[in-house]
Amino acid sequence: MEGLLLPICSIFFSLMLIVIYYSKKRIDLIENRVFSTMLICSVLDSIIVTILQCLALNGVSTIESILLNILNKIDFLILLIYANCVLLYTILITIPKAKNSIKKIFTGFNIIGTIIAILVFLSNIDIITEGTKTSVIGPATTIVYIVVGLYLISSILIVLINHKKTDKRHIPIYSIIGISLLLLLFYKLNPYLIIISITLTFLNYIMYFTIENPDMKMINELNIAKEKAELANTAKSDFLSSMSHEIRTPLNAIVGFGQALAKEDISGTAKEEVKDIIMASNNLLEIVNGILDISKIEAGKMEIVEVNYNLKKIVNEL
């Protein structure tokens, strides 16, 4: 019965973590999806290990031996998926640009995973027992050791090469790599140790408290503030546009009357002053027209219109 204690505890704590994790709102990040897969792998591993230990309590018959063989291979695949997720998570948090090629990365991982899964299922497993304890050895076990070891070593290399980009999210990666390597060593020395399931659960708890999961309440508040700012900006633009239209009406009248006065028979000094009025009004009209262009500026559709100009006239006006 003591072989059942840790797997049962692992099931309980894994399920509790899943309930806590999925009961909270979270952003749909790729990292979160990977972590979700790791949570599911942990629960499935714990359940399979518990079943394996239950089957071995009263000895192993021929039929039970076949069932143990199949269940152990399924459990190996779950462990490989977990190690796969560790490597993928390490890539995502260490090399942000990798997200741009996530589909290609997933395809590569799926191809490699499929090949390894076929090799595991085609390889033999030898069931060994010691009293009520049971374990497995054989080629399939060796393949799993090697592949998991390669995944973990790859994770180490990625972190070491990009050590300047590491942050608190890498804490569980260090823990997973270190503890998993120790587990491989201990399991090789004593295959009857039933500590993998509880270790995976423990590592998931560490990752839960470091995974990138921004506060949804804060994000909602930011979205509300953004909407209010956009409404205020729209109101400002509408006001400026309306005001500019209102100003243009009297300005057009001033320009029109100024031009009419310029045609009248008035003294030379008065005519120059009328020209100044017309020039100032035209300049002000240009400014107002510029204000009307604010909607184009905000939309990024402002166009530069090339027109001919008289340099001598501009200098005289200045």
Quick: pLDDT tens for 99-129.
Answer: 778 788 888 888 888 888 888 888 887 777 6
d(CA 118, CA 44): 20
**pLDDT band for position 191 (cuts 50, 70, 90):** low
pLDDT at 57: 66
Instruction: Check whether 299 has a pLDDT greater than 80.
Output: no
What is the phi/psi pair of residue 307, to 5°?
A: -135, 155
pLDDT at 235: 80
- The verdict on pTM exceeding 0.75 is no
Q: What is the pLDDT of residues 220-251, one digit of tens each?
A: 777 788 888 888 877 877 777 777 777 777 87
